[in-house]
Structure 1
Amino acid sequence: YAQYGLAFYYGANLIDEGYCTPGSVFTVFFSVLSGAFILGNALPYVNAVATALGSASSVFSVVDRKPHIDSYSNSGLKPMMVQGHIRFHNVHFSYPSRPDVPVLQGIDLDIQPGTKVALV
């Protein structure tokens, strides 16, 4: 509360000496008060914003990387006929963050050409 008193004292001196009007002193006082309140409420989220910026940096590095194969290039070998028949046999999978929890266990999958399949 001491800084409020000091601000009003200084504002009263400015009004007394003719540098400011009472309205401008109150405008500045309440603008600074509102800004301090908003900044105080935003401070707890600074850590989350810093973490998000770090995560965004790693995402952008993946998105911005230059692939080894240019899919838009006309050069290179082109297969004459693609059947599109896909077969998985005895597939096992677990995420690197939880290697002890298997997601797929010995799955066999035979996908015929022209069909759509989703693993959920």
Structure 2
Amino acid sequence: MDYASLLFAPAYSFFGSNAVLTLADTAGTEVTITVIDKTAGLPLGPNIEIGTVVPGAMLQAADLTAAGVGREDLDEATIAFNGNTWRIASHYPKPVPSGEANGEIVLTLEAFNG
């Protein structure tokens, strides 16, 4: 199954927000990417998802790769979307049956005061 075209393309087209990801590298590299805003709270948990008030965002792993950004580059980066800027506190993959590279990345966010 082609998750990118069948599932993610419509979802990110309808629910997606443009975001600017600023990496914590010495150049302050900025990348434009589409995210789904989950700042009202993320579902967390390995087997049973539990709703939380932890702010977050989702992005497609393939979009990150296409932008030339590795998951390790998300450490200490900031992301701005929908009028707010957040620090990426942590991130983890949400793979699909065809693998992590075709799935999503969940960002756990913290308020950014910089």
TM over 0.5, yes or no? no
**Which structure shows the higher strand fraction?**
2
Which TM-score band applies after superposition, normalised by the shorter structure? under 0.3
**Which structure shows the higher helix fraction?**
1
Q: Which has the larger radius of gyration?
A: 1
Bigger relative contact order (CA 8 A; separation at least 6):
2
